[in-house]
Amino acid sequence: MSAPDTPAKDGRRQRSRISRDRIVAAMLELVAEGRISPSAEEVAARAKVGLRTVFRHFADMESLYAALTHTLAEQYEGWLIPFDSSDWRDQLVEVIERRTATYHRLLPFKRAGDAHRHMSPAMQDHYAGVLALMRQRLRSFLPPSITNDHMRFETIDLLLSFEVWQRLCDEQQLSSDQARAIILAEVLRVVDAA
């Protein structure tokens, strides 16, 4: 049986956890400011730790991006809270509001993720999991007349994707309100198509 942790050991663990959290927070700040690929040196400087400390906590930049992705995953949990309405159409509007609000907050991180996902199996797996969660949530409340209509369901899923939001905001230079209004109008148009 091992001896209980000493206060000194507990203090080292706490300092180590604080350093790790500062590194992840620094990475979040840099990406939020538009730095798609911050260097380890930039992260260390922002976190006010040495470069060796960054790599003591993270084997490489991929593992730091994986930690960033894990931290951001909490943003998606708001999508899973119960709906305010029991009517599926009102629930769909709630989904649109929740997703577009999340997309608005996470757009800088999506840009960085797009630039790095192809090199990171961890990020690819996480992204696939988020997409599966989004589809499952959509299927959970839409009526069978839509979920059984392959074209309608897939079109709604596409319109509610982060990629559509990103296109509207980045390439088409629309405001968040304009992008949200377009998505809402087009999703409801597909829903009402018979």
Question: Which residue in 113, 149, 151, 145 sits closest to 131, CA to CA?
Answer: 113
Q: Please tell me the CATH code under which domain 7-58 is placed.
A: 1.10.10
Give start-end residues of each CATH 1.10.357 domain in the chain: 71-192
- For residue 156, pLDDT over 90 is answered with yes
- For residue 150, pLDDT over 80 is answered with yes
Contacts of 168 (CB under 8 A, 6+ apart): 174, 178, 179, 182, 183
9-65, pLDDT tens digit by residue? Answer: 677 888 888 899 999 999 989 988 888 888 999 999 999 999 999 999 998 888 888
User: The tokens of 170 are what?
Assistant: 């980045």
Lowest-pLDDT range of 64-73, 74-83, 99-108, 153-162:
74-83
Between 34 and 7, residue with greater pLDDT: 34
DSSP letters of 140-156? Answer: HHS-HHHHT-HHHHHHH
Give start-end residues of each CATH 1.10.10 domain in the chain: 7-58
DSSP state of 76: G
| Four-way CATH pick for 71-192: 1.10.3470, 2.60.120, 1.20.58, 1.10.357 | 1.10.357
Q: What is the pLDDT of residue 79?
A: 64
85-132, pLDDT tens digit by residue? Answer: 899 999 999 999 999 998 998 888 888 888 877 877 877 888 888 889
Q: What is the pLDDT of residue 78?
A: 66
Q: What is the pLDDT of residue 7?
A: 65
Residue 135 binned pLDDT confidence (cut-offs 50, 70, 90): very high
- For residue 133, pLDDT over 90 is answered with no
Contacts of 26 (CB under 8 A, 6+ apart): 43, 44, 46, 47
